[in-house]
Structure 1
Amino acid sequence: MGQSQLPVYYLFIHPNDLKELRGDIWCEDPIQGSLKINKKKLDIDLLYRGSHTRKFKKKSYNIRFYQPKFYLGSKEIHLNAEYKDISLMRNKLSFDFFTSIGVLAPKAQHVFLHLNGKPEGLYLQLESVDEQFFQKRNYPLGAVFYAVDGDANFSLLSDLDQDVKESLDLGYEMKFGTDEDVGYLQELIYKINTLPRNEFEQSIQDYVNVNQYLRWLAGVIFTQNYDGFVHNYSLIRNKETGLFEVSPWDYDGTWGRDVNGKVMEYDYVRIEGFNTLTARILDIAAFRSEYRSIIEHILVNEFTVDYMKPKIENLYKQLRPYFLKDPYIQHLISKFDQEPEFILNFIKDRSRYISENLHKLE
């Protein structure tokens, strides 16, 4: 496939169903349609996806396959409009970055979508973090919990009103697992908040894969996802080890911009991060040292202009011809053209800021 070519998807929805879908953007009852990829016709169920993003002119979609039930090993995919990210790169750059530093992250692929014969524009196809995600990676999955709001803060207190939570699993939605796994999650939250300081270093390793957690934390810090500490992640339980790990999700508000596309200064998120579990882990000298070593390695290897520039430029060259065909954003091409340099400048500034603040991890 040439550098400038993207997969082209053809989505067909009956006009009456499309009218119904557009009439109630919050409807959770899927409508039927078909998706043609590489001349292969797939029967699908379809919903709008996202929360505040449903109000945008360009919608994002959750697509579930039912005939056949799987496509390329997946039973569902997400097509993200990336409407507030003028670069359309930030999610993909983030997930690829997390993968490069040893964190499980969804695969992302840009596609160009047609809806009922008309161009609907550039989309980012995201892999769903579900049972199939882990089967493809030979990962012994026990459970997956989505952090759906700020109450997924690893605390006994609600992030919303600071009252004691009614339930310890508040803020999470189980994607895969059992009632027993909910119990493991509740026990995790309880232990994070009640283990005495002199027991924490040893005991927390019976619940959390600490090295993996620190790698995920570093990924949030480098990409500067302000919401990433209490939201925008999946909590995964490894069936073999019994330990919880974390995987990123929704990273369009990164690399120097927030979720609304506004500039987020390179020093906005501190190197120590946030949330109760992070604070308790970094309170332990051995974990703090391990975290510093991870950050120092990433500063030299993955979070550099030399490493990231070819990836950014290749994506930019691939997306630009399709950006010009996107009816929702084509008029913003001059802003799109400025984003590669903007992201590279963020990497320079953020790298310097993190280097200058390493002493806080001593």
Structure 2
Amino acid sequence: MNLPTFDIFIKPIDFRELKSDLWNDDPVPASLKINKKRVEIDLSYRGSHIREFIKKSYHISLFNFKGLNELHLNAEYKDPSLIRNKLSLDFFTSIGCLSPSSKHVFLSINGKAEGVYLQLESVDHNFLKKRNLPHGPIFYAINDDANFSLVSPIDNKAKTELYAGYERKTGLKSDSLILAEFIYLLNTTGKQEFETTIPSWLDIKQYFKWLAGVVCTQNYDGFVHNYALYRNEGTGLYEILPWDYDATWGRDINGLKMRYDYLRIEGFNTLTARLLDIDKFRKQYKEIMRGILDENFTVEAIEPQIHHLHSTIRPYLTQDPYVQDRIDIFDKEPDFILQFLKDRQNYLRKHLKDLD
């Protein structure tokens, strides 16, 4: 299977401007050739700490090309397998959780090979339209303030705005105020009132599928960012989606080994803690987790995907100037991920009793 080719062409003066300030979000004009189709784009760097890596990640704005308005090209530089993000997002889809689609591509800029990248679908109005979902506001959790709490973990002070930590992708200012009301209610209602009112705000079953996905893949940062919130205007309920899942399957954000038992089965954040404090919700989460451990988070389900992704991008690594000297590590990653999967599944099965 051949990877799609993405060729970006940018004038030298614009390329110099892009490189002059890593933290400038203002895009520069360029053009993008996807296989044989060429379109005009705006190009900028994406991410936070990843901008400092030698292999850059990019945000591409298009002008409604094939129903798309933007693309995210992730370098996956700290993941020695280059597949954890996609493996995770596809896993979320398999357990019935809304998740952005993704695919590996080979990128060049002005004829110079930049290597293997992961193209991530943007979670926006086109994401909803593609899935025949009702319109609704979408928020990206962009920093640790998106912890569903009244207090910022950044400075341990009360938030001045309860929607702090979120970037509104679609929707109106009034939707931000509704989100603030939701956060206020989940922090200030008593246990009995919370149990009766939360089902009118949150798709609880969907939230527990997401929670189980975060816990299984062990994305330690996934509880206070690396997610998106969507309020389905058909149901009026919030749903939660994964985003940026390269620090998973046994490695952290620096690509270092993370013990399989680092993250507890209950997960974290204020909303999760309040839900699991209710007996009937805790039981519901336990049954969802048990089903996923039986059907989805298994060697039989995951191993073919690992080997397919690995073998698909393997031929392109010799052309990737940033990882071509790490191919020996890349080749060991399928076994590393599978061992994590086995150890993590055993750990979670043993701790199902913690949810009694």
TM-score normalized with structure 1 length: 0.97
Aligned residue runs from structure 1 range 129-144, under 5 A:
129-144=123-138
Query: Is 1:61 aligned to 2:58, yes or no?
Result: yes
> In the alignment, residue 43 of structure 1 is paired with which amino acid?
E
Aligned residue runs from structure 1 range 284-295, under 5 A:
284-295=278-289
Query: Is 1:110 aligned to 2:107, yes or no?
Result: no
User: Which among 70, 78, 87 is matched to residue 76 of structure 1?
Assistant: 70
- Report what 2:46 is aligned to: 49
Structure 2: runs of 5+ lacking an equivalent: none
Tell me the distance in 2 between the aligned counterparts of 1:92 and 1:157: 33
> In the alignment, residue 161 of structure 2 is paired with which amino acid?
S
Alignment deviations for residues 272-306 of structure 1 (CA, whole Å, 9 cap, x no partner): 00000000000111111110111111111110011
Question: CA offset at residue 38 of structure 1?
Answer: 2.2
Alignment deviations for residues 118-153 of structure 1 (CA, whole Å, 9 cap, x no partner): 111000000001111111011112101111110101
Please tell me the root mean square deviation across aligned C-alpha atoms, in Å.
0.8
- Report what 2:29 is aligned to: 32
Aligned residue runs from structure 1 range 155-234, under 5 A:
155-234=149-228
SS at match of 1:146: strand
Identity of aligned residues (%): 56
User: Which among 260, 265, 269 is matched to residue 266 of structure 1?
Assistant: 260
Alignment deviations for residues 243-279 of structure 1 (CA, whole Å, 9 cap, x no partner): 1110011101000000100001000000000000000
Tell me the distance in 2 between the aligned counterparts of 1:27 and 1:193: 36
Question: CA offset at residue 76 of structure 1?
Answer: 0.5
- Report what 2:3 is aligned to: 6
- Report what 1:125 is aligned to: 119
Query: Is 1:306 aligned to 2:300, yes or no?
Result: yes
Tell me the distance in 1 between the aligned counterparts of 2:286 and 2:341: 18
Alignment deviations for residues 76-112 of structure 1 (CA, whole Å, 9 cap, x no partner): 0000000000100011001000001111111000000
User: Which among 4, 15, 27 is matched to residue 18 of structure 1?
Assistant: 15
Q: Which runs of 4+ in 1 moved over 2 A?
A: none
> In the alignment, residue 356 of structure 1 is paired with which amino acid?
K
Tell me the distance in 1 between the aligned counterparts of 2:155 and 2:6: 44
SS at match of 2:221: helix
Question: CA offset at residue 236 of structure 1?
Answer: 0.8
Query: Is 1:323 aligned to 2:317, yes or no?
Result: yes
Tell me the distance in 2 between the aligned counterparts of 1:278 and 1:141: 26
Alignment deviations for residues 134-175 of structure 1 (CA, whole Å, 9 cap, x no partner): 110111121011111101011111111221111111111111
Alignment deviations for residues 58-90 of structure 1 (CA, whole Å, 9 cap, x no partner): 11100011xxx2223211000000000010001
Do the aligned residues in 2 keep the contact of 1:111 with 1:125 (CA within 8 Å)? yes
SS at match of 1:141: coil
Alignment deviations for residues 289-336 of structure 1 (CA, whole Å, 9 cap, x no partner): 110111111111110011100000011100101112101110000000
Do the aligned residues in 2 keep the contact of 1:142 with 1:181 (CA within 8 Å)? no
Tell me the distance in 1 between the aligned counterparts of 2:268 and 2:182: 18
Alignment deviations for residues 8-36 of structure 1 (CA, whole Å, 9 cap, x no partner): 11110111111111111111211001111
SS at match of 1:235: strand
> In the alignment, residue 30 of structure 1 is paired with which amino acid?
P
SS at match of 1:324: helix
TM-score normalized with structure 2 length: 0.99
Do the aligned residues in 2 keep the contact of 1:141 with 1:236 (CA within 8 Å)? no
SS at match of 2:116: strand
Alignment deviations for residues 211-263 of structure 1 (CA, whole Å, 9 cap, x no partner): 11111000000000000001100011011111111001110100000010000
Tell me the distance in 1 between the aligned counterparts of 2:13 and 2:348: 53
User: Which among 242, 247, 256 is matched to residue 248 of structure 1?
Assistant: 242
Tell me the distance in 2 between the aligned counterparts of 1:319 and 1:39: 21
Structure 1: runs of 5+ lacking an equivalent: none
User: Which among 327, 333, 344 is matched to residue 338 of structure 2?
Assistant: 344
